[in-house]
């Protein structure tokens, strides 16, 4: 996490809050009750995300000119990245 320290968005940033809401909705589907998920958004133009043990979720921002956020239709509350 230290390598991203200067690029982490604050907890009250809209992107961080959006990711936290998605995790809150997806958490029950993981079957991992009791895990306290912690979301970190890294402000780097990299289409990637990863999870490390202990519930630490890292999501990278991407350039809106190359990607757009879409919500999945149906009963699955997912965010996906689609190249424009």
CB 16 within 8 A of CB 42: no
CB 56 within 8 A of CB 49: no
pLDDT digits 0-9 by tens, 8-22: 999 999 889 988 988
Mean pLDDT taken over the chain: 76
- Model confidence at 38, pLDDT cuts 50, 70, 90, reads very high
Q: How far, in Å, CA of 84 to CA of 65, rounded?
A: 8
The answer to whether the pTM exceeds 0.75 is: no
- pLDDT the model gives residue 47: 79
Q: How far, in Å, CA of 27 to CA of 41, rounded?
A: 17
- pLDDT the model gives residue 42: 92
């Amino acid at each position: 996490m230290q390598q991203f320290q200067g690029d982490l968005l604050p907890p009250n940033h809209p992107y961080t809050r959006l990711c936290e809401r998605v995790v809150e909705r997806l958490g029950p589907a993981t079957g991992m009750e009791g895990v306290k998920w912690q979301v970190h958004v890294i402000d780097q133009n990299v289409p990637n995300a990863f999870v490390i043990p202990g519930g630490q979720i890292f999501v990278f921002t991407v350039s809106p000119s190359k990607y757009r956020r879409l919500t999945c239709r149906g009963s699955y509350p997912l965010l996906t990245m689609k190249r424009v």
